[in-house]
Amino acid sequence: IMADILPKATNNLVFVYGTLKTNEPNNKFWSAEIYDGGTRGSRGGDMRKHGLFQLLAKGETVQKLPLVVATKHNVPFLLHKPGDGHHVEGEIYCVDDKMMNSLDIFEDVPNYYKKIISEIKVSECLNDKISLERGTIVKCSSYQLTNFKPELLKLKFYKTYCSAVVPPYTEM
Ligand code: PCA
């Protein structure tokens, strides 16, 4: 479904449920330009993008999973404990390898989050270049915690992360 809408080989589907979603505090990451440090000699480096991406659809996890907000920075975490929590809502993006790698670095995989492949059910197609029917199930990577402290399971489980509603996110 993706080859036709992005110029480069882009076989990576990512499901985001937290601060990377539309209108959330890290959504600017997608289109941010970064300075690559100065490989071009004395005049410095180049501004470059993290990579290519397309927002495809809204979706939710086929499995129930606990979504909590924790740490003093109020970070959203999807806990890899299928069966607890809700069918969590988020957004499905397709990304090129460069963006996939940028996201992994940003989320500090595998130290902080682990990248887990989960089934996501499309609830609404958001991209007019493709037709993704409601109800379609796609396999997406997402950033989840696997070896988490059991205390996290005592927190409130959300279905949808919304930084305006949960305790405020502060950048680390
Ligand atoms: N960013 C990633 C994982 C949690 C977060 O805040 C996301 O939005 O899916």
Confidence grade of residue 42 (pLDDT, cut at 50, 70, 90): low
**120 pLDDT higher than 90:** yes
Say if ligand 1 is within 6 A of residue 61 CB.
no
* Closest-lying ligand 1 atom to the alpha carbon of residue 113: 3
Nearest CA residue ID for atom 5, ligand 1: 18
Task: Choose the residue to mutate in 13, 15, 16 for probing ligand 1, maximizing ligand atoms within 8 Å of C-beta.
Answer: 16
Please tell me the predicted confidence (pLDDT) of residue 8: 54
Kindly report the average pLDDT of the chain as a whole number: 91
Say if ligand 1 is within 6 A of residue 16 CB.
yes
Task: Choose the residue to mutate in 17, 67, 114, 158 for probing ligand 1, maximizing ligand atoms within 8 Å of C-beta.
Answer: 17
Average pLDDT over residues 91-105: 96
Cα of 76 from ligand 1 centre, angstroms: 7
Please tell me the predicted confidence (pLDDT) of residue 132: 92
**Catalytic residue IDs:** 107
The pTM of the full predicted model, rounded to 2 decimals, is 0.90
Please tell me the predicted confidence (pLDDT) of residue 40: 63
Model confidence over 56-75: pLDDT tens digits? 999 999 999 999 999 999 99
Output the DSSP codes for the chain: --TTTSSS---EEEEE-STTSTTSTTGGGTT-EEE---TTSTT---EEES--EEEEEEEEESS-B-EEEETTTTEEEEES-TTSSB--EEEEEEE-HHHHHHHHHHTTTTTSSEEEEEEEEEEEE--TTS---TT-EEEEEEEEESS--GGGGGSPPPSS--TTTSSPP---
Model confidence over 123-164: pLDDT tens digits? 999 999 998 999 999 999 999 999 999 999 999 999 999 998
